[in-house]
Amino acid sequence: MEIASSRRSGVGATLVAAGHMETPHILDALVRMQTEWMEMPQLKITRPQAQRLWSLSNEVCETAFASLIRQGFLVQAPDGAYVRHAFVRMSAAIAAGSPSPSR
């Protein structure tokens, strides 16, 4: 529970700093969604899949995805699925033959 609380405050701080007032349901969805993408950076999921996976209403899911896109955390692929922004950049660099970033 400590990790969720820590991440929740991070998400909330980001949203408040950006001037967006999010409900507890949306904040909880943001924490769950960001946690999944942190654990699985290559996750590619559609909105209906996300609604089923995280038991979200259409409104909460739509608002959470919009917030994550505004933050630059996610992007929406041409096929409508949502993917991690950093993964898209990394995939493009690999496809272009650029060396991978050092760790």
Copy the structure tokens of residue 90.
């990394």
Per-residue pLDDT, averaged over 76-89, amounts to: 84
d(CA 51, CA 47): 6
pLDDT score for 22: 72
Copy the structure tokens of residue 100.
């991978």
- Residue 6, pLDDT > 90, answer no
User: Structural domain boundaries of the chain?
Assistant: 2-95
Question: What average pLDDT does the chain have?
Answer: 76
Per-residue pLDDT, averaged over 89-97, amounts to: 53
- Residue 11, pLDDT > 80, answer no
Q: Which fold has domain 2-95?
A: Arc Repressor Mutant, subunit A (1.10.10)
The pTM for the full model equals 0.66
